[in-house]
Each structure stands twice: as structure tokens, then as C-alpha cells.
Amino acid sequence: MIDEYSRELRFGRNLSPETVRAYAGDLVRLAEWFDGTLSEATRETLRGFLMHETARGLDSRSLSRLVSAMHSFGSWLSETGRAGADPSVGIRPPAGSRKLPGFLSIREVLAVLDVYDCSTPIAARNRALLEVLYGCGLRASEAANLTLTGFSPLERTLRVTGKGGRTRISPLPSGTTVHLENWISRRHVLLGSRQDTGHVFLSVRGRKLDPRDIRRIVAAAVDGAALSAGVSPHTFRHSFATHLLERGAGLREVQELLGHAGLGTTQIYTHLTGERLMKSYRNAHPRGRSAH
């Protein structure tokens, strides 16, 4: 059965040989652990195996791949009639195996921001957008939905509407405020004679930017700064949170600034900054490295 499934992955779904081997290896371990044929595996079976692999110390990346293999195989079992229902529905990686978010150093953030010199209205818009993503830790959707009425240059704040329609007031760094005011003074160039929707960031056609536009702007800036690909608007959000925590901000304050509904979501950053603290300790302390 695993051989048939592997052929479907390789030739039917055109997955790479490496991915096929990895998925097949996961299923071989499942078959060795499970006392029965794989077509008889239930959701409880898969959860039990996932707990077993977690207990034996499988790293977070391997656990995530295992869950992906389970979903792919479960779907195949159901589609081919080998199982009545997909047993992988509802299977998720263990909470502790969540991938830590990537982030940029301060030097890298500044390099990306400096890609846009504000010499044109588009460059001014892009610089202001990047400044807001990092200066306020916004999601791409939140930046897209910012309105002129929510910007207070005197108080240096933005009114942000986040997930679930929750509204928060985000403080603005002084430099971000300057770039935002510069862009707003020039946005009429893109608006032209079109009706103004009141959104802060506009496309070249005078419409509000959508999150896909924002991702493209970020990708272009990252390319211009000669940084590695894969940096997204969310990377700026993660960098915002990480840099605040590294400089002494409290977890509860960062939670409010990010607009997280619960503290649990924000706590992932404590692992991130904790790892960096331990690395710095090992490198800097005379007894931090193994003694011989």
C-alpha cells in the first residue's frame, strides 16, 4: 500500500523524490508501530503515533512533516476507497512543536527600509508602508485596512482593526510618523479624480492596497536589500515583537501591541528570545562553553 501511495505522490502529484521518501519513511514507522493494516488506522491511531514520536524526541520540523504525511495519506485512503473516511481530519502538530517565527536583525530591517528613498510618490508610499509594518508590528491585512481618520499625527498613534474586528490604538515611532505624513501629503497623486475611500495606502489605480500587494512590495524591498528570500510582512511583525522583548518590554504589553486575543499566542516569542539569550551566554561567558 505504501508503494502504491508513493507512486501516486511521485507520478500523480509530481512531488520530489526526497519528499516521497520522507513521507514513505514516516508511514513505514507508523506501520511498524501500528498493530494492523494502515487502511484500518483511525484518528486515534494517528494521534497515538504522533504522541509516540513526540515522546521519543522527534524535532518540530519532523513532526510537522509527519502530520503533513498523515493528511496526505489519509486523503488518499479516502479518495481511493481504502477507508470510509479520512482518518487524518483534525490531526495537528503538538502545541510545543510550533515553528518559531523568523525575524530580522535591526541592521537588516534598516537595510530593507532604506531601499525606498521617497523620491517618488510610489517610493514614499512603500517606505511608509514598511515603516508601519515594523514600527507597529501590523499584519498585512491590518496595514491594508488603515484609514486616514485612524491616524493621529499629533498623538502619534494609529487606530488598527485586527482579527475578529478588535480595535486597538498603536503608538507610532517618530520616524514612522514623519514617513507616514510624507506619504499622505502625496497620496492624491495616485488617487487622481477617483473617489477617495479614505484608506491610507493606495495602489497605482487609486484603490486600497490588498495584502497581496503588500507582500509584493516587501519582497521587492528584501530583494533590493540583497537579503535572503522568504521575508514576508509577518517577518516585520515578528521582528517588532522580538526587538521589543529583547529591550525589556513586558510580554503583556507586547501582546496588546500585537493585538493577540490571548497571552498564549505571544508566549512563543519568549522561546525565541530565550534561545538567543542562551546562545549569547554560551558565547560570552568564560564558562559558557564546554571545558576540557
Q: Which active-site residues does the annotation give?
A: 139, 163, 234, 237, 260, 269
Copy the grid coordinates of residue 63. Answer: 513532526
Residue with cell 496595514: 143
